[in-house]
Amino acid sequence: MRELTYAEALREGLRQAMAADSRVFLIGEDVGVYGGAFGVSAGLLQEFGSERVIDTPISEAAIAGACIGAALTGMRPVGEIQFMDFVTLSMEQLVLQASKIRFMFGGKATVPFVLRMPAGAGTGAAAQHSESLENWFVHVPGLKVVMPSTPYDAKGLLLAAIADDNPVIFVEHKLLYKTKGPVPEEVYQVPLGQGRVAREGKDLTIIATSVMVNRSLEAAAKLAAEGIEVEVIDPRSLVPLDEALIVSSVKKTGRALVVHEAVKTGGFGGEVVARICESEAFDYLEAPVRRLAGLDIPIPYNRTLEYHTVPQVEKMAAEARKLVQGAY
């Protein structure tokens, strides 16, 4: 199968959705002439025109508000926030409006839009351009939250999100845009709420999100050389969450490590740990469930400090090793 980068897979998904449905359009800062802050929408303006690839003023509130209004009138917008950090400026639109409208109108109104945003550290972009804020939206009923880790999932989840009748927060890690992987040419969807087993193992389950899936796989390969077989679970979407897949894996291995880049306090890892402990998997645990997450500090500009602020392969391997060896 041919390989595409993560960014190319997203672009192909956008192109196919726009070609198939005239209600789909792209809106955001520099998505047109410039092709998006990370080049995802390059060429779409020339293909679909300025009425369907819309450059906006510098106002994240306007982008989110336009998406909600257009969705309510029957369109299926895809908004882009240049950096996830800036989504803070659209919280009223997303939290008080988009998430609640379908419920408040008894299902007679739907708000089908996708809001894409690059998140995460690793590019030296400092504290205002490097955050992972996904759990803010996990906390809001009515919003769906998606975090693809591969080019295949990036395209498939995006097409599924565009087809969904609910608002979807679509989180893309900046370090993934240039990663490559197999992507079918045809239109396909990866169902929201369906996780995947990224690697099978018997000694420990690592539940990881976004770029941490790749790092977990690298750590698992290192541990395999030591005779420790790690199973890596990629939820793919946080809301809805494939809890059954996680529980099944932890029952098999008896140990669990939850890894994400967002800060530990209030992070999604705490929710996963609670789900495990409240499930039948609890009776199968041979060690405490552990979390490995970002430090509770703003992301530093200094590249060495930035590196140590978020989970890296070495730390994952060390934590996994302790769990398997009974060090906790």
Q: DSSP assignment, residue 89?
A: G
223 burial (CB, 10 Å; 0-12 / 13-18 / 19+) is buried
Contacts of 298 (CB under 8 A, 6+ apart): 127
Q: What are 199's strand-pairing partners?
A: 232
Contacts of 141 (CB under 8 A, 6+ apart): 99, 103
In this structure, what token pair is assigned to residue 301?
């500009």
Phi-psi region of 124 (alpha: psi -120 to 50; beta: other; left: phi over 0): left
| Sign of CA pseudo-dihedral 85, 161, 19, 78 | negative
Q: DSSP assignment, residue 280?
A: G
CB atoms within 10 A of CB 300: 18
| Collapsed DSSP state (helix, strand, coil) of residue 216 | helix
Helix ranges (DSSP H) in the chain: 6-20, 44-48, 60-72, 91, 101-104, 134-138, 151-163, 211-224, 243-253, 268-277, 303-309, 313-325
Given 129, 139, 173, 308, which residue is catalytic?
A: 129
Report the b/e string of 169-195 with b at 16+ CB within 10 A.
bbbbbbbbbebebebeeeeebbebbeb
| Collapsed DSSP state (helix, strand, coil) of residue 222 | helix
Active site residue 129: yes
Q: DSSP assignment, residue 156?
A: H
> CB–CB of 324/204 below 8 Å?
yes
| Collapsed DSSP state (helix, strand, coil) of residue 87 | helix
User: Which of the residues are catalytic?
Assistant: 129
